[in-house]
């Protein structure tokens, strides 16, 4: 089609050329027909140009797509990781179990009778296409069977060799060299009762010695002796806590805890508990006195009422309380004197954590009678200044609080009072004499 149009175009040009030279010729084409043919040819050329441009665009698009696809292909040095591992080596005189060599699969190895496996019994196919671990081997006689490690050393089998793990103070390939000549601080060296001969035996012409529990080897391999380990010194600075709450006693091969007089050892073997001599009747208090238990001991007490003065006198109503006798109506000083005086004994350990509430005072109205509407508390005596404070804990109660730790052994006393008021008018006062017995121990 294109060839035919090109021929028509060439013939048309020839005719136009002839007509331009011989305008009078009758066989010349009509001018309008020539213009029509030229326009037809112009349209044809424009159509060919559009098709050619579109063809180029399509070819460029396909070429870009092809290049994009080729760029995604893996390079020669970026090949995907293998999904299998090579066939693992089976040890001589052994067997392999497991036939799948995919990533994550395992193979297992065992040895024939009379042989033992040295190396991993299981290997795993890893993502990089290799097996975990090293090649295992089946060995006949154990290299540790001859006990090559001396002086209590431990033999550890290797693939082609063995290794001796030596105890403290020994070194060398066979633990044959003593590395420490001076005895350790926790070793008991100067008492024959804390030394023993080691247990020795000859194995394959080599002498092996060991000590009982609680002892360690000392001396040379030819002249060794078992010395006691002083556990009390070994655990003296242990961060896990003291070995014994009070005292540690070292004995040959072991230790035990002890408690001071007046205390007993608890079933845990390390803690101490105070013995209540008053409760167990282990005291020597006479008639007319009362036994008071203290930390590690006891006291026999017989508190006395305040002496009479003026119109004020007291009568003992119990072992630890005195009450004022009725006052004359006209005696103001008698009404201001304490209505009751009570005695209290407290036993405390040394270095008690403060602040600590030691004693409480409270009031209660008699049946059918209104109680006080106001109370006041205070410290009115004793031999300790600045060690205690007295404060209200609620509307009807006051507390004696220890604000400084006490170190025993010592005995301190403090007198506290509670005053009752009704409509701001003083009614009565009560005094409590508190005696505190501080133990020399912290338990």
pTM for the full predicted model = 0.53
**Could you tell me how many residues make up the chain?**
443
What class, spelled out in words, does domain 94-140 have in CATH? mainly beta
What confidence score (pLDDT) does residue 186 get? Answer: 60
What confidence score (pLDDT) does residue 307 get? Answer: 94
Q: Which fold has domain 144-177?
A: Laminin (2.10.25)
Q: How far apart are the first and last CA of the chain?
A: 121
What confidence score (pLDDT) does residue 312 get? Answer: 94
Q: Tokens 């490690």 correspond to what residue?
A: 149
Domain limits of the chain?
94-140, 144-177, 208-256, 290-364+371-438
- Numbers of helices and strands, H then E, in the chain: 4, 30
Per-residue pLDDT 10s for the chain (443 aa) are 444 455 455 555 555 554 544 544 444 557 777 777 777 887 777 777 788 787 788 888 888 778 777 766 655 445 566 678 998 888 888 888 888 888 888 888 888 887 888 888 899 999 888 988 888 888 776 667 777 888 888 887 765 667 787 877 676 677 876 655 555 666 666 677 888 888 888 777 777 788 888 888 877 656 778 888 888 888 776 555 678 999 999 999 899 999 999 999 999 999 999 999 999 999 999 988 999 999 999 999 999 999 999 899 999 999 999 999 999 988 999 999 999 999 999 999 999 999 999 999 988 766 666 678 889 999 998 877 789 999 988 888 999 999 999 998 999 999 999 999 988 899 999 999 999 999 999 88
Given a contact cutoff of 8 angstroms between Cβ atoms, the answer to whether 303 and 340 are in contact is: no
CB neighbour list of residue 127: distance below 8 Å, 6 or more residues apart: 81, 103
Q: Tokens 């089609």 correspond to what residue?
A: 1
Given a contact cutoff of 8 angstroms between Cβ atoms, the answer to whether 221 and 149 are in contact is: no
* DSSP β-ladder status, 122-124 and 106-111: antiparallel
What confidence score (pLDDT) does residue 28 get? Answer: 52
Residue 370 is encoded by which pair of tokens? Answer: 């209104």
Q: Which letter does DSSP use for residue 246 in this model?
A: S
Cα 168 to Cα 158, 162, 180, 199: the distances in Å are 22, 19, 9, 18
What class, spelled out in words, does domain 290-364+371-438 have in CATH? mainly beta
CB neighbour list of residue 304: distance below 8 Å, 6 or more residues apart: none
| Beta strands, E only, 119-275 | 122-124, 137-139, 154-157, 162-165, 170-171, 177-178, 187-188, 195-196, 199-203, 206-210, 215-219, 224-229, 247-251, 254-258, 263-265, 272-274
């Amino acid at each position: 089609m294109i060839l035919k149009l090109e021929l028509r175009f060439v013939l048309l040009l020839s005719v136009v050329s002839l007509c331009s030279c011989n305008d009078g010729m009758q066989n010349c084409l009509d001018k309008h027909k020539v213009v029509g043919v030229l326009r037809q040819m112009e349209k044809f050329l424009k159509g060919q140009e559009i098709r050619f441009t579109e063809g180029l665009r399509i070819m460029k698009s396909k070429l870009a797509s092809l290049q994009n696809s080729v760029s995604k292909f893996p390079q020669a040095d970026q090949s995907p990781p293998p999904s299998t591992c090579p066939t693992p080596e089976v040890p001589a005189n052994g067997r392999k179990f497991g036939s799948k060599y995919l990533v994550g699969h395992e193979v297992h190895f065992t040895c024939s009778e009379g042989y033992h496996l040295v190396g991993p019994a299981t290997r795993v196919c890893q993502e990089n296409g290799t097996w975990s671990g090293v090649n295992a081997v089946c060995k006949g006689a154990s290299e540790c069977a001859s006990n090559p490690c001396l002086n209590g050393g431990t033999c550890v089998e290797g693939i082609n060799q063995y290794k001796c793990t030596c105890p403290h103070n020994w070194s060398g390939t066979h633990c044959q060299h003593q590395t420490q000549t001076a005895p350790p601080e926790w070793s008991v060296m100067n008492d024959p009762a804390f030394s023993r001969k080691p247990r020795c035996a000859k194995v394959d012409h080599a002498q092996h010695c060991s000590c009982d529990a609680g002892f360690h080897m000392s001396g040379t391999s030819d002249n060794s002796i078992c010395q006691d380990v002083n556990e009390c010194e070994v655990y003296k600075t242990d961060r896990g806590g003291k070995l014994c709450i009070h005292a540690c006693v070292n004995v040959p091969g072991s230790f035990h805890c002890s408690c001071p007089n007046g205390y007993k050892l608890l079933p845990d073997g390390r803690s101490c508990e105070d013995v209540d001599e008053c409760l167990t009747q282990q005291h020597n208090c006479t008639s007319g006195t009362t036994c008071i238990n203290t930390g590690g001991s006891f006291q026999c007490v017989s508190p006395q009422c305040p002496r009479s003065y003026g119109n004020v006198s007291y009568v003992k109503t119990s072992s630890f309380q005195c009450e004022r006798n009725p006052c004359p109506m006209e005696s103001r000083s008698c009404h201001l004197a304490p209505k009751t005086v009570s005695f209290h004994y407290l036993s405390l350990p040394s270095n008690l954590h403060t602040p600590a509430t030691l004693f409480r005072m409270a009031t209660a109205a008699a049946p059918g009678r209104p109680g006080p509407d106001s109370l006041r508390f205070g410290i009115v005596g004793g031999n300790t200044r600045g060690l205690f404070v007295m404060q209200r804990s609620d509307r009807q109660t006051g507390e004696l609080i220890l604000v400084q730790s006490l170190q025993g052994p010592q005995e301190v006393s403090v007198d506290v009072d509670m005053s009752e008021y009704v409509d701001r008018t003083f009614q009565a006062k009560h005094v409590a004499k508190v005696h505190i017995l501080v133990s020399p121990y912290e338990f």
